[in-house]
Chains A and B, each alone.
Chain A
């Protein structure tokens, strides 16, 4: 039996959709200064931004695992009134315009903010417009990815393995380390990678809350914006670098997110 041909209109629109995604990438590749690629990428301002981006995104991932995993566990295992509402609140940053997140962070942790004023007055601690602020901004937008993926992992694992471990004499903590964690490791890894990718690409919340200070808060995406005005070749190369990272992540997680059939 021959397969029926798909409607021409649908095919046409789908082709346009693909082109819409592929053309910008082609544009980047076309404009890339391949001859001087390495020089552009190893310019001091690029290297500084690259280093800072790694520090900020990895620290944000660390924070998202440290606080996000317990949160995911609570969501998955502890029914409490208002759980859905709380979950909605902590998921909000995923869809919130990042700049809104940045403004909100500013009014919470800025020098005159809800919490920030006490941190400033009491402990002399300033978060806004520091590397810590950039990390916080990235963690703010990235943690929901880890929480959602982690909760899904915890919910889909057979809790009976944990029960079996308890009957073998393992305390709850021992069970978590030796049974739960290994069994949800793939989900946790996926969540951490997604969260890292989100933190790496963070722009709006960072520039609003942490500013754009080279060496302190100027991460890769921010450096791309600046370079676009001064040295477009650097912007192109940094963009390609971020693109390459995203592709690697997508390929690494393909079994999880790209297979629907």
Chain B
């Protein structure tokens, strides 16, 4: 069990993160750029000192500021795969993998044998004598993974493992990486800014924004009930916040809406853009939620158009190109937006 409760300041970043990971778990730390993800990884690896808190892996104390403990990186049972892999340019692939074993005192012969078998296991046995410069991105990633795994770590940290690859190689390498990660028994933490990567590789997501954990859960949990603008944008839904009283939600900003969900208190409300209907005149009939606004952006995405509506209730609607023509929508057009009460999901904030 990995228990993390750390606080540190680095430049303008204030990192304050609590997280736990169980044995055998793959956790993705997902967040926008500069959210503090890499700093968190570096703190876990011991490369950045924390100013407060504690990091423990089972019975091994990595950091404990109250007791003044800071284990140097070389004494942590960890393996790290860095974003650009950082394979030592002056060593061959085999020597790179053997490096950690040699550093831990294994004889040169044994280290080479072990390193060779790790390269073999990761399917890059024929690259053993190659220098990192001669390796493709995918090969370099596997060598880096072999190097991290060869020292038999209990915690594997991967920083943006696919970011250095070009898009064409990414999906294949991602599949391989998933397989190799599955064969490792310890805790795996994958840092990424790519939700697809996070969902593909991990059992559980930890969303970090501005140095704080804003949400954790399975991919399904997180996408169904986003708790931050960042996640909502990733998933592509409208996320609103307000105070609910028996289904009536007074939103931050003044507007209000009516939901079929009967929550009370501080809530998030999620409206899928497809649930937002647009009209040129005030619609008659059943919708309980109607707002007047102005189409500010029209974003054509294949057979869908995302329309940003400005007004008392800023919201994004997703309609068909046919609807845009029918409504004669252009940027600046006056529109009415409506949403059925049953289309609004409300849950406690």
Could you give, for residues 162-181 of chain A, a 1 whenever the CB lies within 8 Å of some chain B CB and a 0 otherwise? 01111111110010001100
Whether A169 touches B151, Cβ cut-off 8 Å, given contacts A164-B80, A183-B90, is yes
**With the chains together, A174 CA to B89 CA distance in Å?**
17
Asked if B47 lies at the interface with its beta carbon under 8 angstroms from chain A, I say yes
- Chain B residue with Cβ nearest A166: B73
Could you give, for residues 11-44 of chain B, a 1 whenever the CB lies within 8 Å of some chain A CB and a 0 otherwise? 0000000000000000000000000000000000
CB of A182 within 8 A of CB of B99, answer no
CB of A170 within 8 A of CB of B103, answer yes
**With the chains together, A29 CA to B89 CA distance in Å?**
45
**With the chains together, A165 CA to B103 CA distance in Å?**
9
Please indicate the chain A residues that have their CB under 8 angstroms from the CB of B99 in the complex. Answer: 165, 168, 170, 178
Whether A167 touches B103, Cβ cut-off 8 Å, given contacts A160-B86, A179-B88, is no
**With the chains together, A174 CA to B100 CA distance in Å?**
11
Cβ-defined partner of A169 (8 Å) among B47, B86, B100: B100
CB of B103 within 8 A of CB of A169, answer yes
CB of A167 within 8 A of CB of B74, answer yes
Tell me the smallest distance from the CB of B334 to a CB of chain A, in Å: 55
A 130-157 contacts with B by CB, 8 A: none
Asked if B268 lies at the interface with its beta carbon under 8 angstroms from chain A, I say no
CB of A182 within 8 A of CB of B90, answer yes
Cβ-defined partner of A170 (8 Å) among B47, B74, B89, B148: B74
Asked if B82 lies at the interface with its beta carbon under 8 angstroms from chain A, I say yes
**With the chains together, A164 CA to B90 CA distance in Å?**
14
Cβ-defined partner of B88 (8 Å) among A165, A171, A174: A165
Asked if A161 lies at the interface with its beta carbon under 8 angstroms from chain B, I say yes
Please indicate the chain A residues that have their CB under 8 angstroms from the CB of B86 in the complex. Answer: 158, 160-161, 163-164
Q: How many residues of B contact A (CB 8 A)?
A: 24
Whether A169 touches B82, Cβ cut-off 8 Å, given contacts A161-B88, A182-B90, is no
Tell me the smallest distance from the CB of B110 to a CB of chain A, in Å: 15
Asked if B79 lies at the interface with its beta carbon under 8 angstroms from chain A, I say yes
**With the chains together, A4 CA to B209 CA distance in Å?**
58
Could you give, for residues 100-132 of chain B, a 1 whenever the CB lies within 8 Å of some chain A CB and a 0 otherwise? 101110000000000000000000000000000
Tell me the smallest distance from the CB of B32 to a CB of chain A, in Å: 22
CB of B88 within 8 A of CB of A169, answer no
Could you give, for residues 50-73 of chain B, a 1 whenever the CB lies within 8 Å of some chain A CB and a 0 otherwise? 000000000000000000000011
Secondary structure call for the A interface = helix
CB of B89 within 8 A of CB of A168, answer no
Please indicate the chain A residues that have their CB under 8 angstroms from the CB of B76 in the complex. Answer: 167
CB of A167 within 8 A of CB of B73, answer yes
Asked if B45 lies at the interface with its beta carbon under 8 angstroms from chain A, I say yes
Please indicate the chain A residues that have their CB under 8 angstroms from the CB of B72 in the complex. Answer: 166
CB of B103 within 8 A of CB of A171, answer yes
Cβ-defined partner of A160 (8 Å) among B82, B104, B147, B148: B82
Tell me the smallest distance from the CB of B103 to a CB of chain A, in Å: 4
Asked if B6 lies at the interface with its beta carbon under 8 angstroms from chain A, I say no
B 312-344 contacts with A by CB, 8 A: none
Please indicate the chain A residues that have their CB under 8 angstroms from the CB of B267 in the complex. Answer: none
**With the chains together, A168 CA to B73 CA distance in Å?**
8
**With the chains together, A56 CA to B65 CA distance in Å?**
53
Please indicate the chain A residues that have their CB under 8 angstroms from the CB of B73 in the complex. Answer: 163, 166-167
**With the chains together, A169 CA to B150 CA distance in Å?**
11
- Chain A residue with Cβ nearest B102: A178
Asked if B295 lies at the interface with its beta carbon under 8 angstroms from chain A, I say no
Asked if B78 lies at the interface with its beta carbon under 8 angstroms from chain A, I say yes
- Chain A residue with Cβ nearest B157: A167
**With the chains together, A158 CA to B89 CA distance in Å?**
11
Please indicate the chain B residues that have their CB under 8 angstroms from the CB of A165 in the complex. Answer: 88, 99, 103
Residue among A166, A171, A174, A183 with the most chain B CB within 10 A?
Answer: A166
Whether A174 touches B103, Cβ cut-off 8 Å, given contacts A165-B88, A166-B72, A182-B90, is yes
Please indicate the chain B residues that have their CB under 8 angstroms from the CB of A163 in the complex. Answer: 45, 47, 73, 86
Tell me the smallest distance from the CB of B124 to a CB of chain A, in Å: 18
**With the chains together, A168 CA to B86 CA distance in Å?**
12
**With the chains together, A178 CA to B148 CA distance in Å?**
17
B 247-289 contacts with A by CB, 8 A: none
Please indicate the chain A residues that have their CB under 8 angstroms from the CB of B75 in the complex. Answer: 169
**With the chains together, A168 CA to B151 CA distance in Å?**
7
CB of A167 within 8 A of CB of B89, answer no
CB of B104 within 8 A of CB of A167, answer no
Residue among A158, A161, A163, A182 with the most chain B CB within 10 A?
Answer: A163
Which residues of B are in contact with A by a Cβ distance under 8 Å?
45-47, 72-76, 78-80, 82, 86, 88-90, 99-100, 102-104, 147-148, 151
Which 6 residue pairs spanning A and B have beta carbons closest together?
A168-B100, A170-B103, A166-B73, A164-B86, A167-B80, A182-B90
Seed contacts A169-B151, A183-B88; 17 additional CB < 8 Å A-B pairs: A163-B47, A163-B86, A164-B80, A164-B82, A165-B99, A165-B103, A166-B47, A166-B72, A166-B74, A167-B46, A167-B74, A167-B76, A168-B74, A168-B103, A169-B75, A170-B99, A170-B100
